[in-house]
Structure 1
């Protein structure tokens, strides 16, 4: 069998145990995998990582190395429940992201941060002169 790139279970090369895609041992999971199980990392340090080559950007000769950090499932804690107060806070944060700071209109979509205001205000002649 040939040597597999990114396989370093002792962490000598990369500093922490490193595995290629689909070869991580049982008992380790990414944040998304923990969330799917109804768990959260609970403040634990990264236990290992998975490395792989991403897609090559157009015009580039090299492929970037991507990483996913792994956490121990046995040290993970249950996700905190959504309380009514947290639900109100999240709703207020989302309402602020949907409200234009110039015209104060609340839209059903999040206002683009690249514009800084709603598309209507961004396209107005006064906004272009400023």
Structure 2
């Protein structure tokens, strides 16, 4: 497999993230090359942009499930209020509940 140093890949090849950024997916195609950086500690596969397929849009059911899951991540287990941020999984509580615990201790 052809190997290129960081930022030296030829035009027409892209990583999975680069493909996703332009709305494409490699589909079933195999990697055409790879880039290596940090003295070989990091490797990313490169796919041909010409053979990449468009990403499938999410179904309404998938979008509803994601909305429900993200709401569950924003609800504090202690006070049961929805926060504008994801609640800490370490404590299972929002910032105000954690602050109250610290004051009580």
Q: Which residue of 1 aligns with 2:53?
A: 77
Normalised to the residue count of structure 2, the TM-score between the two structures is 0.74
Q: Deviations over 1:27-73 (max 9, x none)?
A: 321122212322012244433221223xxxxxxxxx88333322222
Does the C-alpha gap of structure 1 residues 43 and 97 become closer, same or farther in structure 2, counting only changes over 3 Å?
farther
Q: Deviations over 1:61-99 (max 9, x none)?
A: xx8833332222233221111332222122111101111
Q: Give aligned pairs, total.
A: 104
Tell me how far apart the structure 2 counterparts of residues 42 and 50 of structure 1 sit (CA, whole Å).
20
**Unmatched 5+ stretches in structure 1:** 1-10, 12-16, 54-62
Q: Which residue of 2 aligns with 1:5?
A: none
Q: How does 1:60-75 map to 2 (within 5 A)?
A: 65-75=41-51
Q: Deviations over 1:10-43 (max 9, x none)?
A: x4xxxxx321122213332112221232201224
Q: Which residue of 1 aligns with 2:31?
A: 46
Normalised to the residue count of structure 1, the TM-score between the two structures is 0.63
**Unmatched 5+ stretches in structure 2:** none
**Secondary structure at the counterpart of residue 46 of structure 2:** strand
Higher RCO, Cα 8 Å, sep 6+: 2
Aligned: 1:113 with 2:98: no
Aligned: 1:88 with 2:88: no
* Structure 2 counterpart of 1:98, from 63, 74, 92: 74
Relative to total residues, which structure has the larger helix share, 1 or 2?
A: 2
Tell me how far apart the structure 2 counterparts of residues 77 and 99 of structure 1 sit (CA, whole Å).
37
Tell me how far apart the structure 2 counterparts of residues 75 and 96 of structure 1 sit (CA, whole Å).
38
